[in-house]
Amino acid sequence: MLNVDFNKLASLINANVQGANATVNNAEDAKFDSSITVEASKIFAVCEFLKTNKEMPFNSLQCISGVDWVEFMEVCYMVAHFDTTAPREFILKVKVTDRVAPTVDSVVKVWAAANYQEREVYDMFGIKFNNHPDMRRILCPDDWQGWPLRKDYVAQKDYNGMAVYPDNKMNFEDREFIVRQDMIKKAQLAASSN
């Protein structure tokens, strides 16, 4: 990631947040970015430290996302410091091993931007954020069953009498796309035969 000495940052976290156990995950190839993983129980304290420390502050939360790795789930926080002389950003991760009742502490009190993002992770993965001011679904209806982005998710067949995955689910845009693709193929065939 941008302008971050991961080993120095992990050492700073460990020196200032007891029990954080910050470890560096080095990028193995170009597909992944390096990141730092901390103990899930320490996420609030780590984020509070990251925002307020003077040596290497991170004043902005850009994004929170969830990942289901089957054996465990992860909550990933993209944090940044926007400074014209030394901008920097990195990914902070926590592992969530309890799939039945997964929880992590909310960081809304550190970065207000976490509010809707934590709700989205809850809605899609079922990970509850302790001490969140409004922990409820944000995308799916309140009575939706399951967590749509989890690997073990099985979609309900219908919702309020409407098929969730109807046999013929093409909409107008899908049909228009197919028509355009057919026109392109015909034009390419005509051009190649001339």
pLDDT tens across 32-55, in order? Answer: 788 999 999 999 999 999 999 988
Q: What pTM, to 2 d.p., does this model score?
A: 0.81
pLDDT given for residue 156 in this prediction? 83
Band of residue 105 on the pLDDT scale cut at 50, 70, 90: very high
How far apart, in Å, are the Cα atoms of 78 and each of 166, 183, 191? 37, 43, 48
CA distance 56 to 16: 12
CA distance 79 to 43: 13
CA distance 156 to 158: 6
Average pLDDT over residues 137-147: 94
pLDDT (tens digit per residue) in 11-32 = 999 999 999 999 999 877 545 7
Average pLDDT, the chain: 90
What contacts 101, CB < 8 A, 6 or more positions away?
A: 128
What contacts 154, CB < 8 A, 6 or more positions away?
A: 146
